Structure formats: structure tokens, C-alpha cells
Amino acid sequence: MKILKSLLRISLALAAAVALSPASTAWAQVDLTRIAWIGDSEGAGFTAHCLTKRVQVDSPSAVIARTENVADFQQPIVNDPGLGGCLVLTSLAPSFTQEPSTGTPANLALARPYNNLSIPGCTVGDMLRATTASQTSGNCALFIDLVLRNAALHIGSQVDQAIALTPTFVFHENVGNDYLGAVTSGTVIDGVTVTPLAPFTADYNTTLTKLAAKQPKGIVFGVADVTSIPFTTTLPPFLTSGGKLVLNPATGAPIPLLGPKGCPTGVPACPIPATTLVTLNAASYLPYGYGIPCAVAPTLPKCNNPLPAAGDPVTGNPGALIYAADVAFLKQRGADYNAAIKAAAAASGYKYYDVNDFLLRLKAGFDFGGITINAAFLTGGAFSYDGIHLTPIGYAILADDLIQFMNANFNAGLPRVNLTTYLFNGGTNGGLSGSSSYAPLNGEDFERAVQAIFTPEFARQLASMFSLSKPALVQGDSGPVQRLEPHYRGPEQP
């Protein structure tokens, strides 16, 4: 019976995949022979903390180009094992490791700009102006010279190089680097980890005006709600054990984790409100007892100490809590960003693609012949081990959604993506080990997996990926403090 059920699931999935490819592939309204994709890590095919050929070949733009058999589509391919230290599953215990960050460029000598100009970590201002590593920070600085190659090309920014391609269709994708660093660092400060609205708006207006003057057909992405990704939604604000809430024996209520805000004078830690977001950074603190009452776990050396609510300017340790006021600020800023993008898109003639709508549908789940892919961390199949970036399956689903968007908005008649390879092989080049074929995890395995991935060092690396280039001193809750730098010693050890 189990074999029959498995065969049925496979048959249904194959039938669904075949159904996604219409008989007619003619397209008269959209010419994809010279795609120009300006973007960030999602556009680049970044996954599980790294950029590597195994997943770059399944970046959204590559999937779209391959669906249409585009003859000359070029990306800044990085040979395996890639750059950044790819997270891979090593056992079903579960345990994880990182591959060496020793990948080398595969087509660095291309005499023209790449079609996929996406650079992980870049903000909209970086996409418009930055030309070399010295003009930006974080992952944008790490990858910008690999992608733009201005030492040889001398063409300019992502926007400048896209225009130089004389593109037949433009994608402008920036899903949140202008405020994602506030979440990964746990430090929410407008003008430091969050781009103010005025320069953001001005940069989008300038960018789309320049692009539309060269190519009037294009799509501009909205930003994602950075408070609604697995990195911020996986861990509850309560103590868990074996994947289940730990209940107060006297009241039967869940036991809140401890944080530093709203406490009586002289009390360093108190229960966090249920409206607080606990990011995956907490996994690097909880094993030592941070955030856990000593009444529950008296043997943990740091019990009764709070989970940090913000990054430490001295050690560089990222924060793990986002209180309700900061959550509301980030949600409002995301909404304001999207309003500005919609207005710029309307003025330029570009079509606005609603990323948040896609993520909501992904959270609910896409069903392919009985196989459900959703946004659940570690088990959903769409998000990789860093809780932020998609897997090859996720990227393929995004590409298919974009094709449907183009068909609806440009009368394009583009063929749908055949998802069979992604569902059963992890990607056209195999994907990353374990990154798209997740073994079911029970509560205890799930908790151990999160802790194995989000080590203190990895939490620091992730926070530094999205750092913005700002002054050394910033205004914090208690006055001027040093800006967070990529230097990290981890939580105080027992």
C-alpha cells in the first residue's frame, strides 16, 4: 500500500508538471532574448548562506531564460563549492556543516555585462550607484567586483550595466536589503540598519526612469515583509522542549522567554510579551540558558539572563528579539517602501510584482500532484537553511509565478516551468545536499537542527551580510553607540 501511494504521488506530480507546460510556446508581446535582471541575493540564486553554480543555474532569471531557450544568457557563475560557506545536511541526527568558501569564477572574462547582474546584499542605492567594493559594505562589497568587473569593463553600476546590454526586457528585484539588516542584526535604527524613506524613494524614481528610457517593458518587484520570513517566524516567544511548549505547572500557561525590556528597576531579565518576534539568532544563545528562567533549567550557566534585544556594539553579537514597537515600525516601513515602488512603477510604465502576495501563497503552500511545498523552515522545501533565501525549488516556483504574471500583464503566452526536475532531483544541477529534499523532523530533531545551523559564528556571519555603510557612531536607546561591525566572539561561554 505504501508503494502504491508513493507511485500515485509521483504520477500526480508528473501529471501536474506536464500540465504546467502549454502546447503553444509562441510569444509576441515579450522578447526575452536579452534579459537584464538587476537584483540582490534572491535574484542571484543565493541559498543556504552561499553562492554556488549548483543553485545559480536555477536562479529565477536562469529558469525563465531556459524555459524560453534563450541562446545567450550569462551569469557570474561561481564554481563549486561556491563562496560563503554552503550549509549542508550531514546526517539525519540532524547535524550540519559548512563547505569551504573556495569557489572560483567560471566566466569572469565575459566581454560584456552579465544578463543576471544580481549582487547579494545590495540595497537599491547600491544598485543605482555602487561600482566597486569600496563603495558599499556587507555581502554587496564581497560580491560586487565579481559581478560588475569594472576593473575591466568600466561600465558602472548594476543599472548602468543593464542599460549597456540594450535589454529586450528588464527585471528590477530588491526584496528587502534596505531593512533586512535590522532583523538579522536585531538592531532596528532608521538611517543605520534601515534606509530612510526619502532616499529610497528618490533612488527608485531615478532607477526606473533611467531603465524605462532604454527599455520600456519591465517588471519591478516590491519588497518583502522582513518580519514574516522563516528567520523571524520559526521560534515562538515561549520556552519549548522537544518541539512542544513548556507549561507552567501552576497555571498551565506557556512559559515566556526572558528579555531585557520592560523590567522593574534592578531586574536584568523579565518575560517577553507574546507579540515579540524571536529570530533564529536565539538558537545561538538558548543552549547556554540565555532567555530561560533558572526555575526551569537551573543547570544552564546563563539562566535568568535575557536574550539580547539588540546587537552588542562591543562584541558584535547580533540581537535575537524584536519587540512589538520595532515590528510595527518595520511593517510600516515595508508598506511605505512598496507604496513608493508602486508610484515609481506607474510613472515609468513598469509592472509592479507583489512579492508579499507570492510569499503569502507560498506560506499556504503550493500543491504539485500531492507534494506540498511551503515556507515552513527546514520542512517546507521552499526556504533554505539560513531561513531567508529560497531553495532551487523555491526559485523555480518564483520563476513560474513570474511567468504567469507576465502572461497576465503583457499577454506574453510564455510556457510555464516544468517543475518535475526540481521536485524530484532538487534542481537541474542537483541543488545543495539536503537543501531541497528535507527529511521529516520531529520536535526534538527540529530543535537540534536549528541549534546546529545557527551557531554563534553563523549568526554573526548572517548579520554582517546585510550591514549598511553608515557612520561609526549611531544613536541607540541609551545615546550614541558604535555601529555594529563584522567582529564577533559569540555569547559568553560557561
* Cell numbers describing residue 252: 498551565
pLDDT of residue 471: 37
DSSP 3-state of 24: coil
pLDDT of residue 249: 92
pLDDT of residue 18: 43
Dihedral sign for Cα 436, 441, 446, 452, please.
Answer: negative
Helix axes 456-465, 138-148, angle to 10 degrees: 60
Could you say which residues of the chain have pLDDT below 50? 1-28, 434-437, 469-490, 493-494
* Cell numbers describing residue 357: 502576495
Residue among 232, 203, 21, 25 at smallest CA distance from 124: 203
The DSSP H or E segment spanning 219 is strand 218-221
Phi, psi (deg, nearest 5) at residue 24: -95, 130
Q: In the beta sheet, which residues pair with residue 36?
A: 170
User: 468-480: buried (b, 16+ CB within 10 Å) or exposed (e) per residue?
Assistant: bbeeeebebeeee
* Cell numbers describing residue 464: 554582517
pTM of the model: 0.89
> CB–CB of 308/319 below 8 Å?
yes
90 CB-near residues (< 8 Å, 6+ apart): 96, 97
pLDDT of residue 96: 83
Residue among 262, 210, 254 at smallest CA distance from 236: 254
DSSP 3-state of 88: strand
CB atoms within 10 A of CB 214: 16
DSSP 3-state of 78: strand
pLDDT of residue 370: 87
What structural domains does the chain harbor?
30-228+327-425 (3.40.50.1110)
* Cell numbers describing residue 301: 550557566
- CA dist 123 and 246 (Å) reads 40
pLDDT of residue 217: 97
E strands in 109-185: 169-172
- CA dist 14 and 16 (Å) reads 5
pLDDT of residue 130: 97
Q: Which residue has the cell 518541539?
A: 243
* Cell numbers describing residue 224: 518583502
